[in-house]
Structure 1
């Protein structure tokens, strides 16, 4: 019995450390070796690119989000990550194909606007970020987490906007847009976000 208790305690500690580490990466951001960060023009190959960092953020959003009951066909159903429009970091998102999110696996798809309602995460790129009203009409009332990196994305109705701040990737959250989807984000994650409201 003592062995079992020790094993459970050790496993619980490992899980907590993993959560802290993942959230810590988001809190610290990633210094990009680019002119934005004052780095050299030619970065070492080991340095993550801006696009890779943004893809890593999207993956962590998936891990720290909770979808409402009924959003999936079953407990192991695929979590569908969609690219809509010309997503600048879309190629980096391809690396997330098959990655685990709890008991689910991620599937990365390219979709047309009319197909966006079948997604769980929707990453929106050009020229769609200028048509957020159209996107909002498609996803309204559906459990879809909208993400984009256009300037002011969250303030214009997107749930999560990725930004660059002094060469680091940060993120903004629009609580109204998030609430409309029925999706909740971890309180740990929300504490790290910049909260924004819809622009008038």
Structure 2
């Protein structure tokens, strides 16, 4: 018996599959935010960040050449950066290696494809992602009002599970396209300003 296409699967099954992939990538059996405490939550978010790259289309201009890596920048979450470095070691996305850089407030997000801003200070995003930025960039946050500060994806905890909201307006402004498969499993998709 053949499997139905992913687009036809119920939203819950797609989310369960994405969570299972994220958890399997880390060797965890569940994607709950509580079971292992903050460490498990961080690991699940790290796996999601890696998976988000698989569901994001960057224009060719985002890369110096066909072999250029996908670069994830992490600000305000050194533990997350370490988890991500372990997770992406030796892995590729669309035949591109994945690299992780730890950023400080004074660092510019130059050369990044995904910027993760950790912590509850959504204002940190405003300090890092400078107005008028020209390069395509997937911005992910975990602050309560992350989408209002220009984040494309913002993590939140819903019923003790790591979930995420998406801003299509921010994706357009940041010159990236998100797969409908990713949008299907989002907690909420904002089509205009959040």
TM alignment of 1:159-198, pairs within 5 A: 159-193=152-186, 194-196=188-190, 197-198=192-193
**8 Å Cα contact 1:85-1:128 kept in structure 2:** no
Distance 1:184 1:60 in 2: 14
Q: TM-score, normalised by structure 2?
A: 0.75
With normalisation by structure 1, the TM-score equals: 0.73
- Residue 5 (structure 1) aligns with: none
Question: Is 1:79 equivalent to 2:70 in the alignment?
Answer: yes
Instruction: Write the deviation string for residues 77-131 of structure 1: whole angstroms up to 9, x where unpaired.
Output: 1111111233563332222234210110101111244431221111112476323
Structure 2 distance, partners of 1:77, 1:128, is 32
Which is worse superposed, 169-178 or 48-57? 48-57
CA distance in 1, matches of 2:159, 2:47: 19
Larger Rg belongs to: 1
**How much does 1:23 deviate?**
6.0
Question: 8 Å contact 1:81–1:121 — kept in the other structure?
Answer: yes
Structure 1 residue 55 corresponds to structure 2 residue 49: no
* Structure 2 residue runs without a partner (length 5+): 23-29
The answer for unaligned runs of 5 or more in structure 1 is: 1-12
In structure 2, relative to structure 1, the CA distance for the partners of 1:88 and 1:155 (3 Å cut) is farther
CA-atom RMSD in angstroms:
3.0
Distance 1:142 1:62, change over 3 A: same
In 2, Cα distance between equivalents of 1:98 and 1:139: 34
Q: CA deviation at 1:149?
A: 1.2
Cα deviation 1:2-61 (Å, max 9, x = unaligned): xxxxxxxxxxx99x78xx898643367954272xxxx6xxx5xxxx81111111111110
Over 3 Å counting, the alpha-carbon distance change for 1:79 and 1:64 in structure 2 is same
Q: Which has the higher helix share?
A: 1
CA distance 1:89–1:125, change in 2 (3 Å): same
